[in-house]
Amino acid sequence: MKITIIGTGYVGLVTGACLAEIGHDVFCLDVDPRKIEILNNGGVPIHEPGLQEIIARTRAARRITFSTDVEASVAHGDVQFIAVGTPPDEDGSADLQYVLEAARNIGRTMNGFKVIVDKSTVPVGTAQRVCAVVQEELAKRGLAGSDQHRFSVVSNPEFLKEGAAVDDFMRPDRIVLGHDEDEAGQRARELMKRLYAPFNRNHERTLYMDVRSAEFTKYAANAMLATRISFMNEMANLADRVGADIEAVRRGIGSDPRIGYHFLYAGCGYGGSCFPKDVQALVRTASESGHNLRILEAVEAVNNEQKEVLVRKITSTLGDDLSGRTFAVWGLAFKPNTDDMREAPSRRIIAELLTRGANVRAYDPVALNEARRVFAIDLHDAPEQLARLHFTSTQNETLTGADALVIVTEWKEFKSPDFLHLKSVLKTPLIFDGRNLYEPEAMTELGIDYHSIGRPYAHPSELPADV
């Protein structure tokens, strides 16, 4: 099948590359000529394991094309995936300007039947708005109601985890497809069924439903996962106060099959492109409908506060004034296996350390370039603070002469460091671990002062007297 992908971000690029990998003829459109130049020169503008190899194979096989030519993109695909960004607006709602502009471009030049797929994460009712925009453009061309210019808008939300997006796409646990029941909607369903047929050979993974339910499903899924994270962080903060071990608690509750282990790890808060903006957008949708989502409002509040937990642990140990102190920071991306810095806890933590007068030496396996760009923007009005932030090329470079190590992202290479070397190069053997990578008892035996999230004190006798 001939497929057009509008937008070459995480969702669009992974979708396009994977569909080309299974044999479809894919045209990827982006209005950013810099991205298209990178892709046409054999590069990839994002870090996603396995993606570059797939793009190289499919480009060599001439099954994927990258271009800024809007008219050619509309002419190419029988199925037009809209996979552009939907950033949060000032009021927290999803900004649909790029989605609607993509729809306008389709309506301006389309000829023949088109399936228009909302792949971007969009609020309930977006498909109706997309349909109206396309109808408006067809009317301007005098083609409203033309049998030769019929189309159907379907909702096909993505459920990709950054860092595992290729595997998630190629081995989906479900494919959600929302479509209308009219003739055009049924025709769209059949085309999408053909498109996804390779993923349904062992068993049917596609869930068919109405369009609004499909749109809602994506937000509800991310809201549930964000809720689990904030719930566990709340429990971890209480465990700190009462002397319980949140890791033991996690194993205790996760063994219940009704609960499970996924997204039950305590830490320093979630970030990324999905959970923060999708929770905000769902809260905003509810508000516009005259309803308050009190649980999700709390989820967002807990997450915002959780990003301060490590800094509070640092200041309770070293004092509020951190002038002259140096901190080694391991991990900048919001999660491992990505260079995504959007809403990353590291941004808040490092900003707080710099505000309190500290020097920071930071390292991340893949996000250094993106981190330099992001912090240059974040600290644009604070050049003196930016001057105290240094990025290193290895994790060990951050350590020499630092007063403490702060772990923010749980990259695999941080899980088994040389602790004897670490002790020898730090001014003091002090670790603040925002991802609970190590065992407190083992750290105590090594003579390391170890502060984690929701783990017990090394010596129970040191618990507060009122516990």
Active site residues: 274
Burial of 184 (0-12, 13-18, 19+ CB in 10 A): middle
Sign of the CA dihedral running 424, 428, 434, 435? positive
Q: Across the strands, what pairs with 116?
A: 80, 153
Q: Across the strands, what pairs with 139?
A: none
Sign of the CA dihedral running 249, 250, 256, 259? positive
